């Protein structure tokens, strides 16, 4: 649950604010959430382009 919060919060708040909320002493620990968000974005782009530019909802898949 903390990881999900951190991944979502990092999109909306400055990293140092998320760091303080999660109680991380190291910014490197907080940056894990940034990488997780980036990975999800890359996976979504891959699904989009492999479907010929259509989302699964639009194609009924």
Give the pair of three-digit tokens for residue 8.
């979502």
Using 50, 70 and 90 to split pLDDT, how confident is the model at 53? Answer: low
Is the per-residue pLDDT at 61 higher than 60? Answer: no
Q: How far is Cα of residue 9 from the mean position of the Cα atoms in its chain?
A: 9
Give the whole-angstrom CA distance, residue 58 versus residue 53: 10
Across 36-58, average pLDDT: 74
Interval 4-46: pLDDT, tens: 777 778 778 888 888 898 898 988 887 776 776 677 778 888 8
Q: Is 10 exposed, middle or buried (0-12, 13-18, 19+ CB in 10 A)?
A: buried
**Cβ(7)–Cβ(19) below 8 Å:** no
More confident residue, 52 or 24: 24
Is the per-residue pLDDT at 59 higher than 60? Answer: no
């Amino acid at each position: 649950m903390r990881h999900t919060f951190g991944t979502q919060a990092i999109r909306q708040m400055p990293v140092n604010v998320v760091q303080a909320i999660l109680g991380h002493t190291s910014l490197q620990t907080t940056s894990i959430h940034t990488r997780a968000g980036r990975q999800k974005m890359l996976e979504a782009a891959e699904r989009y382009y492999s479907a010929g530019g259509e989302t699964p909802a639009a194609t009924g898949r």
